Amino acid sequence: MQSVSEQKKIIRELNSEKPETILEAIRKLRQTGNPSLLPYLIMVLHRTRTEEVRNSIIRCLNDLKVQDSVNELVKAIHNEVYDTEKEILVSACWQSGLDFSNHIDTFVEIAIKDEYRLAFEAFTVVEYSISNCTSHEINSYIRRIRKKMDMADRDKKALLGEMISMLEDQKTQVE
């Protein structure tokens, strides 16, 4: 566990203008795995134009292993300020291997409403986390997708159809 002064130092370093200082802060953050610092890391991802810093943050997000990070990632996904980073954030959800089953509705909604690439990333999060859901929850997701499916273009319809099939398969395993 980090002390408050160590956390403040990492936050200061993340807010630096020097890429090497930011990279050092990311390295420290990776070692501690403190989820309360994720909002600062995501803010840096949003504002940086330095490719090395950006890639380091993406690797850090993809490697998250602390379950408490889930809520911070979902909050950032819902934050319109980070719409340009949304695909990276959603991708990090499935790449981290963390359990997002309490937030499946978020990813179903993304699959329905957002463009294909982002919908595909959301599909993958659902696929990785659905095993912890009840058949009642799964039925709810299936109904929601079916209700909105007609509004999707051809490629998106195919993806949503695959999502329904995957959910139905999972439902039979749960029952």
Mean of all residue pLDDT scores within the chain: 95
19 and 83 assigned to the same domain: yes
pTM over 0.85, yes/no: yes
Quick: pLDDT tens for 129-144: 999 999 999 999 999 9
Structure tokens at 137: 């929850």
88 and 103 assigned to the same domain: no
Exposed e or buried b per residue across 110-137, where buried means at least 16 C-beta atoms within 10 angstroms of its C-beta? bbbebeeebbbbbbbbbbbbbeebeeeb
Choice among 2-6, 35-39, 77-81, 119-123 with the minimum mean pLDDT: 2-6
Q: What is the pLDDT of residue 130?
A: 95
85 and 113 assigned to the same domain: no
174 and 117 assigned to the same domain: yes
Nearest CA to 99 out of 59, 79, 127 is that of 127
Quick: pLDDT tens for 14-60: 999 999 999 999 999 998 888 999 999 999 999 999 999 999 999 99
**Residue 11 domain boundaries:** 1-94
Give the pLDDT band (50/70/90) at residue 175.
Answer: confident
Give the pLDDT band (50/70/90) at residue 1.
Answer: low
Distance CA 61, CA 70 (A): 11
Rg from Cα positions in the chain: 18
Distance CA 101, CA 8 (A): 32
80 and 107 assigned to the same domain: no
113 and 165 assigned to the same domain: yes
108 and 156 assigned to the same domain: yes
109 and 26 assigned to the same domain: no
Q: What is the pLDDT of residue 31?
A: 87
CA distances from 4 to 28, 58, 64, 65 (A): 14, 25, 21, 21
Total count of domains within the chain: 2
48 and 134 assigned to the same domain: no
10 and 83 assigned to the same domain: yes
Query: What is the arithmetic mean of pLDDT over 86-96?
Result: 98
Give the pLDDT band (50/70/90) at residue 167.
Answer: very high
88 and 106 assigned to the same domain: no
Q: Which of 94, 121, 141 is the last residue of a domain?
A: 94
What percent of the chain shows pLDDT beyond 90?
91
Give the pLDDT band (50/70/90) at residue 4.
Answer: confident
Query: What is the arithmetic mean of pLDDT over 143-155?
Result: 94
